[in-house]
Amino acid sequence: MATFLYRMGRTAFQRRWLVALLWTVILGAVAFGAAKAPAASDNGTSFMPGIEAQKAFDLIGERFPGSDANGAGARIVFVAPDGEKVTAAGHRAAIDALVTEAADEPQVASAVSPFTAGAVSKDGSTAYATVNYKVKAADLTDADKAALEKAVDVARASGLTVEVGGTALAEQPAAGGSSEAVGIALAAVVLLITFGSLAAAGLPLLTAVIGVGISMASIMALGSVFGLSLTTGTLATMLGLAVGIDYALFVVSRYREERAGGHGPREATGLAVGTAGSAVVFAGLTVVIALAGLSVVGVPMLTKMGLCAAGAVVVAVLIALTLVPALLGMWPDAVLSRRARKGGGPARPADNGGSRWARFVLRRPLAVLLVCIAGLGALALPATHLEMGMPGAESKPVSSTERRAYDALADGFGAGFNGPLTIVADVRGADDAKAAATEIAQEIGATHGVVSVSPARFNQAGDTALFSAVPATGPNDERTKDLVQTIRAKRPGLERTTGATFEVTGSTAMDIDVAQALQDALVPYLSVIVALALLLLLVVFRSVLVPVKAAFGFLLSVLAALGSVVAVFQWGWGAQLLGVEQTGPIMSLMPIFLVGIVFGLAMDYEVFLVARMREAYVHGDRAPQAVVTGFRHSARVVVAAAVIMIAVFSGFVGADESMIKTIGFGLAVAVLFDAFVVRMALVPAVLALLGDRAWWLPRWLDRLLPHVDVEGAGLTASRELSGAPAGSEPAPQEPARI
């Protein structure tokens, strides 16, 4: 592996203009394809096939064609001034005028007045009108939204308080934006401080941006074929940028080190790609495993996001191995520090902050280990109280009209009105379809916790009935979750007595089912990626205990991050400091995202740091000295990479959307814990306690495992056999190990 990559790096250096031209052509080709490709069509693929709420939703679409269930909707809430009622003549006229004006818009499928639908609160203070659109929220034009906003402003002028809930006017999430720009700016500062050279800082940024551009253009070009979108590529953008910077950073850092050791530009490039490039390859593989493993969760959208992000990581690895050495060939001295360009300074620093920290840990490994475990364990405790859900309008800032509409409906109609349950009854097996539907509705209406049940609405064939049940509690209340299970538990008895069956769906039931399904999938997903990564690390480090230690450290950091998320976003500890106005359940996808992404990044740091220790050990250092050597050469770069990651993810904490804020915070603290507590403290402490046993591998297993030579032992041996002096340009002999 090391020799192959060594040759690749030298070839890319020598044929730098050809390599640069090839990547330019690739970027241009995918950009042209993205520009010419038709927009991705939404074929209505189920969010999570197999759960009851999704099956019921699909049944509604099948039995009630043209019901516009997937179209955008707006629930316009009217609140009369204190002491007045919305049924007063003036207020009623203003409401009717708004409904009439909204109904005249070409994209509106229906607009229902509250006085027609009986959507007026008992005290007459609150009412709501429903506007349904023919297209989805993402397809509404600015003109469509402006027309609705204009009608709302006219109604407000009459003295009514008017707020708009639903999806029609809600902010649509978009990939990219200021968060990435802030992350790039912070990364540039960190790189400049780390390298002390504008060129060295700019090269990783340039190659990372090129990689993200290729990845996103490819997603757009293939969007119509595979149902991809910019939203699908959000994770690819985030991770492609982060790992693209990190991988180039490690190659450039090793190149500078080899140049300081007296090697010429071409030889230093080959050695950098042969050694650091090997770590890049296996670090990238661990990230790809974690992302591709998202397919086991069973969510098509999550599978697409994971595979797209995995593709972005592969592109980042290829760029680090080819384009980075090509650019080093164009400007071989530009990435060096000013002192190195002038020929001054020591070839290899004998000591630095990394080695001093390693010696500190080596002197007291047990104390450091216990402090790390105790600290992360304490932070992980809140994770035992994790509640998953899908935060809705109640989690938005009170400054948003969606949140104010949510609160107004809760005040006027009750907390459960914002999360009604939709019941779809399949009455094909009943002798009397209407009687069966009536009995089902009456039984559900008599359930404790149900406030009201609407009259049943039949489809044209008369074999399916649809009605809604309003709970007494809010969508994210634990009692609502219990109510859904209670209603479903009545199904066998009703099926025996009526010959009909029913299913429960709606946004509230969907969120409950998704949360439960994702919670059930978390352990299998974690098991799959940990098992595959353990096998990969076993091959890389040729050790039994090092991979186990890596997995243990990851579990500590990810559980501590989950505990921190629960403490802030569910319990509200320090929530105001982050601008969190409403606490509640953690987004259902958050734990899966956190486990997958952090696992990949954690193994990145593990490979980069421990591979250098393994290299020193293979080349003759004793076990304790190998730890010091690894930290001397890699600690600063690992810290810089982690700070860049934290900066990129922290940019999302300032977002208005609670879900984005939660993801940004969770990823930032997870990288903080993993890089600075686990990899920088727990790892050297464990290796110090294990000593030479850390690198133990049974002989029978050593014979079975392939030899990939990540540490470059074969490369070093071939150069020594050829008698190559420092700075020469030999062609290495074929090593014994591949």
Alpha-carbon distances of 737 from 257, 269, 272, 313, 633, rounded to whole Å: 25, 22, 19, 27, 25
Between CA 589 and CA 578 the distance in angstroms is 21
End-to-end CA separation in angstroms for the chain: 5
Residue 498 identity (one-letter amino acid): T
Q: What is the pTM of this model?
A: 0.79
Burial class of residue 176, CB neighbours in 10 A (0-12, 13-18, 19+): middle
Residue 179 is predicted with a pLDDT of 58
Please say whether the beta carbons of 46 and 300 come within 8 A. yes
Of 649, 654, 674, 675, the residue nearest 664 (C-alpha): 649
Mean pLDDT on 609-618: 85
Residue 48 pLDDT exceeds 60: yes
Residue 125 is predicted with a pLDDT of 94
Residue 183 is predicted with a pLDDT of 67
Please say whether the beta carbons of 549 and 683 come within 8 A. yes
Residue 431 identity (one-letter amino acid): D
Residue 189 pLDDT exceeds 50: yes
Between CA 100 and CA 111 the distance in angstroms is 8
Confidence of residue 736 (pLDDT cuts 50, 70, 90): very low
Q: What is the pLDDT of residues 646-677, one digit of tens each?
A: 887 787 777 666 677 888 889 889 999 999 99
Give the CA angle between residues 427, 428, 433 to the nearest 5°.
50
Most confident of 255-264, 344-353, 361-370: 361-370
In degrees and rounded to multiples of 5, residue 504 shows phi and psi of -110, 130
Residue 504 pLDDT exceeds 60: yes
Please say whether the beta carbons of 666 and 512 come within 8 A. no
Helix-strand-coil percent breakdown of the chain, rounded to 5?
Answer: 65, 10, 25
pLDDT over 90 for what percent of the chain? 35
Between CA 513 and CA 487 the distance in angstroms is 14
Residues 6+ positions from 620 with CB-CB distance below 8 Å: none
Most confident of 14-28, 593-607, 718-732: 14-28
Q: In sequence order, what DSSP letters do the residues of 132-176 get, joined into one string? A: EESS-GGG--HHHHHHHHHHHHHHHTTT-EEEEEESSSSPPP-SS
Six-digit token pair at 268?
């230093």
